[in-house]
């Protein structure tokens, strides 16, 4: 048995002596909770933002059965990085460029986990999501780090800025709840401000696969699932006694559309 399998991510970081990696302590705790179900699977992982390459080494230890661990960085110095672990690959490119996306896809066409630790600028974060969320397998996670930058003007952000990276992820909540809008508009309309400002398009089929959005301090985690799993489903009413509201008995197996008021009211 691989001795690393019994160690937490925080333990692996504490013991690490290879290439430099730096993460906030709260991230390590969140990742332990989020990534534990993937740990013994043959996962593929993409990290945007490589820097010194230490996190790629640590992911290879944390995911002993990973098939691919890919890093992408715009810094040409990253081409000098070498790894003993053959599963680790580094792509030197602008992750949001057409060439960069093609280079990443040439290593692995789909990923279970994508971590954006790139420039932290709102433009790059939003464009990266549009490009790489489609590559995430159903059941996988898309994680964006250092969203604190979404509050800072030098990273194209600000508190309550309607086109900041953190506002973008907040808007995904409206996308998830699209079936309750009571409007004919497509889910992509919730992201119209970002489409216009950052010249990016969001694939409707991919937006339908946004299952949940979770925030922690400076982190956002987006889970991907097939569309049927993202609908509210049917109302389920069980039990036989309803002395307070007997009408609830008739709500069993009703779709949410049955709760809409009649037209014209």
Active site members = 120
CB 83 within 8 A of CB 57: yes
**What tokens appear for 187 in the block?**
């889910």
- Identify the helix (H) or strand (E) that includes residue 220: strand 219-224
CA–CA separation, 173 and 180 (whole Å): 12
Tokens 């991907």 correspond to 224
**What tokens appear for 110 in the block?**
């789909």
Kindly list the strands in the beta sheet with 219-224, ordered across the sheet, starting from the edge strand earlier in the chain. 88-92, 68-73, 44-48, 111-116, 136-144, 219-224, 210-216
CB 27 within 8 A of CB 215: no
Q: Quick check: helix, strand or coil at residue 243?
A: coil
In Å, how far are 30, 31, 88, 216 from 137, measured between CA atoms? 20, 18, 19, 23
Q: Quick check: helix, strand or coil at residue 42?
A: coil
């Amino acid at each position: 048995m691989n001795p690393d399998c019994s160690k937490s991510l925080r333990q692996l970081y504490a013991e690490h002596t290879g290439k430099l990696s730096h993460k906030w302590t709260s991230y390590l705790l969140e990742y332990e909770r989020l990534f534990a179900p993937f740990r013994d699977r043959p996962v593929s992982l993409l990290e945007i933002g490589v820097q010194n390459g230490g996190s790629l080494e640590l992911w290879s230890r944390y995911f002993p059965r990973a098939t691919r661990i890919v890093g992408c960085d715009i810094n040409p110095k990253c081409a000098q990085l070498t790894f003993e672990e053959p599963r680790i690959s580094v792509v030197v490119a602008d992750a949001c460029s057409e060439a960069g996306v093609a280079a990443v896809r040439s290593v692995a066409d789909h990923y279970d986990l994508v971590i954006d630790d790139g420039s932290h600028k709102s433009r790059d974060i939003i464009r990266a999501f549009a490009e790489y969320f489609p590559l995430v397998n159903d059941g996988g996670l898309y994680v964006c780090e250092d969203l604190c930058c979404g509050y800072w003007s030098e990273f194209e952000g600000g508190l309550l800025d309607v086109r900041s990276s953190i506002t973008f992820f907040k808007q995904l909540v409206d996308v998830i709840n699209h079936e309750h809008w009571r409007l004919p508009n497509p889910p992509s309309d919730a992201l119209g401000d970002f489409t216009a400002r950052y010249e990016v398009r969001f694939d409707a089929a991919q937006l339908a696969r946004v299952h949940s959005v979770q925030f922690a301090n400076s982190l956002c985690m987006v889970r991907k699932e097939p569309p049927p799993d993202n609908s509210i489903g049917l109302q389920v009413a069980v039990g036989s006694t309803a002395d307070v509201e007997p009408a609830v008995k008739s709500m069993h197996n009703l779709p949410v559309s049955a709760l809409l008021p009649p037209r014209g009211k």
